[in-house]
Every structure is written in C-alpha cells, then in structure tokens.
C-alpha cells in the first residue's frame, strides 16, 4: 500500500499539472483579438472609438500591443463592441486577425518586363515581388482587326483594363465588341475568351490588371491561338444600318 507521504506527493504533482501556465506564444493577444473583431464587424478605429468612448490613440496603442487596459476599460470596450469578455481574449479571434506584410515595390518608367505576343506588346510591372495577388501591366495593342490578333485569350481570374491612349475594341466570346475610348475602362471575367483590337488610327495603350498570377498569364499567352469560331459580330439589318 502507498504511504501517506507518497499520496501527498502525487496530489501535489497533479495540482501543479492542472495549473501549468499556457505558453506565452499560445496566449491570445488583446491587440490581435481587437483587430480581428474590428475587421469582422467592418469598423474603423474611429467607429470603435465612437461606440466605446475610448480615444482613438488608446485603441491604436492597444492593437499594436503598446498598451494594456484596466478591467473597467475592458468592460467598456466589450459593451461598445457588443461582445463577451471571453471573445475579446479568444484564441480564434486573435488567429483570425489579418497579418500586415508591409510589402512594397515600384517600377521605374520603361523598366517593366517585356512580353511580345503577336501584335500585342506587354510590359509586366513590379515583377520583383513574388506571389502577388494581381498582375499589373502596360500593353500596346497594334492589331487593327480580330484576325490580326492571336485569337481569344482565356485565363483564370478577372481583369480590369483602363485605356490610356487611343480607342480600344474589346472582343469577347459572349458579347458584341465593346468600344472604350481613352479615359474609359472595363472590368470582366477573364475566363471568358477575350482579345484587344485598336479601333483608331494608331496603337492603343492600356493599363491592365489581372487577378491571375504572372505564371498563369504567361502560359495562357504562349498557348493562345486563333480559334475556329469567329468573334460575335453585330447583326446586319435595320439596326446595323442605323448605327452606320
């Protein structure tokens, strides 16, 4: 049988294990939790300040782990945000806080990475930053007809195009050609077949931003071929004569 002394020793070990502190790296930080809750509720620091009565400078310092709050202030914060105190210190909330990468890069004028495809000349921008969520580029479109292009291009994501100079015709497989003048723009699903044509006397210069990665775009450009199907054209007839 175990002695009384041995039982007391085991009891102390059990209590010690039960109150073993959580490692500091696993503890949720108030700043991370507050930022996550604020982002989830789509609130600015000014909004939180108005709802809680806490100064914006105070909230900013809390989010950056530069300031702790008293119990009364924590309750004030919870009431304003309409959350429980436990949620304010939730590990899940802290882990959901967006991480600031502070990434930044720039491209000097004329210093983009050139890619030539048929009569389209692309200049990829900010290529030294890997893993971007979007791919910006400047393009010069010299093709004057659909037949002079490489045909419809398809790639993942969506595309935004702003006409810097000239007049652009955007050909797509589901719509009639769309004319966009300088200063105009268009946003579309780039999994839909599309190509650009200059509708003016000279080349068109455009700023194009795609949500696809550079490798995906390069592959799509290299594989683009003239399709068997013709682009959607305007129907001949009364409407066509009226538009002429």
pLDDT tens-digit readout, 150-163: 889 888 889 999 99
Assess contact for 124 and 135: CB atoms under 8 A. yes
Assess contact for 182 and 163: CB atoms under 8 A. yes
Q: What is the mean pLDDT of residues 152-176?
A: 94
pTM of the model: 0.55
**Residue 186 pLDDT > 50:** yes
Q: What is the dihedral of CA 161, 165, 169, 173, to 10 degrees?
A: -20
Going by their DSSP bridges, the two strands 135-141 and 178-181 should be labelled as unpaired
Query: Which has the higher per-residue pLDDT, 204 or 12?
Result: 204
CA 69 to CA 84: how far, in whole Å? 15
Structure tokens at 222: 């290299």
The mean pLDDT value of the chain amounts to 79
Fold of 24-95: 434 Repressor (Amino-terminal Domain) (1.10.260)
Look at residue 131 in the predicted model and tell me its pLDDT: 77
Query: Which has the higher per-residue pLDDT, 234 or 47?
Result: 47
pLDDT band with cut points at 50, 70 and 90 for residue 28 = low
Going by their DSSP bridges, the two strands 178-181 and 167-172 should be labelled as antiparallel
Domain regions of the chain by residue span: 24-95, 113-230
CA 213 to CA 92: how far, in whole Å? 30
Fold of 113-230: Jelly Rolls (2.60.120)
**Residue 53 pLDDT > 50:** yes
**Residue 15 pLDDT > 60:** no
Q: Do 113-230 and 24-95 have the same topology in CATH?
A: no
* 97 Cβ contact partners less than 8 Å away, ≥ 6 residues apart: 32, 33, 35, 36, 39
Full strand arrangement of the beta sheet holding 204-210: 113-117, 120-124, 135-141, 204-210, 158-165, 185-189
């Amino acid at each position: 049988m175990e002695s009384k002394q041995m039982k007391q020793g085991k009891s102390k070990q059990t209590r010690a294990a039960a109150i073993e502190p959580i490692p500091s790296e696993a503890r949720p930080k108030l700043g991370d939790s507050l930022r996550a809750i604020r982002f989830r509720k789509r609130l600015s620091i000014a909004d939180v300040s108005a709802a809680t009565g806490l100064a914006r400078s105070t909230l900013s310092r809390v989010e950056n782990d530069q300031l702790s709050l008293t119990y009364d202030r924590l309750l004030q914060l919870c009431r304003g945000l309409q959350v429980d105190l436990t949620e304010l210190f939730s590990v899940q909330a802290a882990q959901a806080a967006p991480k600031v990468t502070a990434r930044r890069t720039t491209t000097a004028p004329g210093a983009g990475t050139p890619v030539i495809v048929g009569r389209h000349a692309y200049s990829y921008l900010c290529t030294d930053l890997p893993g971007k969520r979007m791919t910006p580029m400047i393009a010069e479109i010299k093709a004057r007809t659909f037949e002079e292009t490489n045909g419809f291009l398809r790639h993942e994501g969506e595309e935004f195009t702003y006409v810097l100079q000239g007049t652009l015709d955007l050909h797509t497989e589901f719509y009639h050609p769309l004319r966009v003048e300088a200063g105009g723009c268009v946003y579309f699903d780039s999994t839909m077949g599309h190509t650009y044509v200059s509708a003016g006397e000279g080349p068109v210069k455009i700023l194009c931003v795609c949500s696809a990665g550079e490798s995906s775009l390069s592959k799509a450009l290299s594989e683009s071929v003239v399709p068997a199907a013709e682009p959607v054209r305007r129907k001949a007839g009364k409407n066509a004569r009226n538009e002429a």
